[in-house]
Chains A and B, each alone.
Chain A
Amino acid sequence: GESVGLHLPTLSVQEGDNSIINCAYSNSASDYFIWYKQESGKGPQFIIDIRSNMDKRQGQRVTVLLNKTVKHLSLQIAATQPGDSAVYFCAENINNDYKLSFGAGTTVTVRA
């Protein structure tokens, strides 16, 4: 079965608000996690990554939090904009392997 999954399939957020997208994983050997954004008709686009020796990493308007105790990671998007509307995937990598395992995705819709 899936080792990576997302808690909610859809998320509707008001423009300007913060978004939080959650992801659970089951394999404690996973040591590298990536968040991807996929817009309609396009390929996944790298947003931010985090290794298992960290619990937080920040990028431009995005923050990823990793809780290894409960095998959970989240993506926070600050001041969500219409251009943030997309499907967001978390992906994991085990033992620094090249193979990525993707969750099913959360569709984020930004309301004007």
Chain B
Amino acid sequence: NAGVMQNPRHLVRRRGQEARLRCSPMKGHSHVYWYRQLPEEGLKFMVYLQKENIIDESGMPKERFSAEFPKEGPSILRIQQVVRGDSAAYFCASSLYENTEAFFGQGTRLTVV
């Protein structure tokens, strides 16, 4: 049973470009969470999604950031018009049910140059 798969592992974007981060949850998991980790800090909750629904996006910046989890395919975190401050590690986690253990992927390290 493969774990949570994120790709790409590393992503470099120029300021103003778009970044698309993908997350495939563990098999059978329909709950997906995105977290952001700035250098030498803990993870900060961004958004919680279930299939085709955004449940809680209270941690998402109001502009430029969006997330989706379609019926088919991976969850996508999209950052439009990236700025240097978006440089961070973005982690996805999935769980079988809402209040059960969440398993984390290896993360995508975004660098904005």
B and A form one assembly: yes
Q: Does B60 contact A (CB under 8 A)?
A: no
**Secondary structure class of chain B's binding surface, majority of residues:** strand
Identity of the chain A residue whose Cβ is nearest the Cβ of B109 in the assembled complex? A41
Report the interface size class on chain A: 20 to 34
Contact between chains at A98 and B33 (CB < 8 Å): yes
User: Is A104 among interface residues, defined by CB-CB distance under 8 A?
Assistant: yes
Is residue A12 contacting chain B, with contact meaning CB distance below 8 A? no
The chain A residue with its CB closest to the CB of B58 is: A99
* CB of A30, distance to nearest CB on chain B (Å): 14
A42 touches B106 (CB 8 A): yes
* B contact residues, range: 20 to 34
- Are A43 and B106 in touch, CB under 8 angstroms? yes
Residues of B within 8 A of A44 (CB): 43, 91, 104
Q: Which residues on the B side are within 8 Å of A102 (C-beta)?
A: 35, 42-44
Q: What are 12 A-B pairs at a CB distance below 8 A?
A: A43-B93, A43-B105, A43-B107, A44-B91, A46-B101, A46-B103, A49-B101, A98-B56, A99-B56, A104-B41, A104-B42, A105-B42
Residue numbers of B with Cβ under 8 A of A are 4, 6, 31, 33, 35, 40-45, 48, 56, 91, 93, 95, 98-99, 101-107
